[in-house]
Structure 1
Amino acid sequence: MTGVFGMGHGGMTDPVPAAAAIQAKEDRDSINNGSVAVETKVGLGKGVHQPLRSASYPTTHRLRRPQRLPPSQILSRPMVFSPSSPVSKPPRSVFESIYAFAPNRDTLGGTAYFIVEKDSQGRAQNLLVDTPPWDETTRQFLAEQGGVRWLAITHRTALGKAAALQKHLGCEVVIQEQEAYLLPDTPKTTFHRSLSLTPHLEVLWTPGYSPGSACVYYGCYGGVLFSGRHLLPNRQGHPEPLRFSKTFHWPRHLCQVEALRTRFSPETLAHLCPAANTGFLRGQRTIDNAYAQLQALDLDALRAAPALL
């Protein structure tokens, strides 16, 4: 008997080769249509293929390659860049001639200040106390105020981008001599114990937090002391020397606090402007009644104070 099944040995028909031939033709059609993958099965005859039936990919699903845009379309699409760092907030007024900058991430969240001063001939003698965030907001503000004559550094943590700032503004960097090496290629003026900049401005060496820590005294508004990290507000907003694990010399730090108490009086020291922890001031721009608060400090108790962090 002849037909689709063919003849086997001994006159018996063998349906496997014929059925396999039909199945192989169906599989070839499926392969040519790109709808399924195939693998060779052993035991169904030589060269017999069975389609792979996957539960997750039905036989009607076709895999497509991702579409690629031609170079002309890629180049014509606009490219959007985000700034490397957010723009800081504008400085806020503390007094008529004093401004406080937003915290600077380059100085561990430190607060820098700007003092507007003029000489007897009306020329700008403006002073920056520590480095503010160095961005377009700061550059525009300083330009509107007539530039910067001096940049006074109160401690090594406040350096930030001092070198770039000095190069852009052409100002004179004032730093205590023991920390001048931190700005090797920057023009600077060093001092030992104190340095008078104007009749109202003086830089004072107050070591303790670091070897070259300093404060800036401004003899207006009843006397304003920019205390750097020498005196900071505690959680109650009161000024206090705070001991940290990186404090250079704690006993010397306390000796300099005593020296400030001796140097000033209620008539010459009314306000403190700290370089950090300003959030503890709870909206106040300065620490007021500064001289009385310094006199209230218990330095004997502070000598045994543990380091905070």
Structure 2
Amino acid sequence: MSLASNLPHPSLSVKSPAPKLPTEILPGIFAFPPNRDTLGGTAYLIFTNGGNLLVDSPAWNDTNRQFIIDRSGINWLAITHRGGIGQAAKIATALNCAVIIQEQEAYLLPELKVTTFQSKFDINDSIHAIWTPGHSPGSMCIYYADGGGVLFTGRHLLPDRSGAAVPLRIPKTFHWPRQLRSVEAIWQQFPAQQPLAHICPGANAGLLRGRGSIAFP
């Protein structure tokens, strides 16, 4: 038997596996698979009566595009830090949605008309953007008041190996002491000022071991 007989026929091609669908991790909240364009970042889709919000950019492929379109699209795309931009321009153009980004990072999307804010922005009655600088100059968290309170932290807070939400210093961290001050400030809001039941980090999702979110406290 020749070696050639053991080789794949040239007319046969190996198909790449289909992209995974987003997973519902909490009622009305879906997590997208990690996105290589954002260095393994996790994007989230939130469905509310006041409109749908996409937190950071998922991989922009046919699977994710159709998933969003089939669910009435999105009203807003919120970018929690500069590393979460990915293909935000293509997403916003395709879905005709508003883009929300902290004012210090708006220059990274020159091709889009964006909505900026300084310290806090009310996206709707139940969703609020909070400036938490440190990981990047315009890093922010998204607070969703329903479901007992859900905080989407981008890379401001990430799971450690035990699954706890902590600040992690990485080579791309903009200003570590400022990030620590931001962490202290945002912790003071919960639960003293606002209820909080879940934390949804923007990366390191594998350390959650399938749980989807971090229970608080």
Match of 2:213 in 1: 286
CA shift at 1:80, angstroms? 8.8
Residue equivalent to 1:134? 60
- 5+ residue gaps, structure 2, are 1-10
Greater RCO between the two (CA within 8 Å, min separation 6)?
2
Q: Is the 8 A contact 1:134 1:161 kept in 2?
A: yes
Separation of aligned partners in 2, 1:132 and 1:163: 12
Q: Distance in 1 between matches of 2:78 and 2:14?
A: 33
Alignment match, 2:199: 272
| Structure 1: gaps of 5 or more residues | 1-78, 120-124, 293-309
Q: Distance in 2 between matches of 1:243 and 1:225?
A: 20
Give the structure-2-normalised TM-score: 0.90
In structure 1, give the amino acid aligned to 2:165.
P
* Residue 218 of structure 1: aligned partner: 144
Q: TM-score, normalised by structure 1?
A: 0.64
After TM superposition, list the pairs within 5 Å mapping 1:178-217 onto structure 2. Answer: 178-217=104-143
Alignment match, 1:117: 48
Tell me the SS of whatever aligns to 1:198.
Answer: coil
Q: When the two structures are aligned, how many residues end up with a matched partner? A: 206
Secondary structure, counterpart of 1:116 in structure 2: strand
C-alpha change, 1:249 and 1:269, in structure 2 (3 Å) is same
Is the counterpart of residue 160 in structure 1 residue 86 in structure 2? yes
RMSD between aligned residues: 1.7
TM-fit CA distance, 1:88: 2.1
Alignment of 1:82-97 (within 5 A): 87-97=18-28
- The code of the aligned residue for 2:46 comes to I
- How far apart in 1 are the matches of 2:172 and 2:21? 31
Q: Is the 8 A contact 1:176 1:205 kept in 2?
A: yes
> After TM superposition, what 4+ stretches of structure 1 lie above 6 angstroms from structure 2?
79-83
Counterpart-to-counterpart distance in 2, 1:254 and 1:239: 13
Q: Which string of whole-angstrom CA distances, capped at 9 and with x for unpartnered residues, describes residues 89-133 of structure 1?
A: 1100011210000111100010000000123xxxxx100000011
Q: 1:176 & 1:82 partners in 2: Cα distance?
A: 44
How many percent identity over aligned positions? 52
Cα deviation, 1:218-241, whole Å, max 9, x if unaligned, reads 001111000000000001111110
Say which SS state the counterpart of residue 40 (structure 2) adopts. coil
Paired AA for residue 116 in structure 1: F
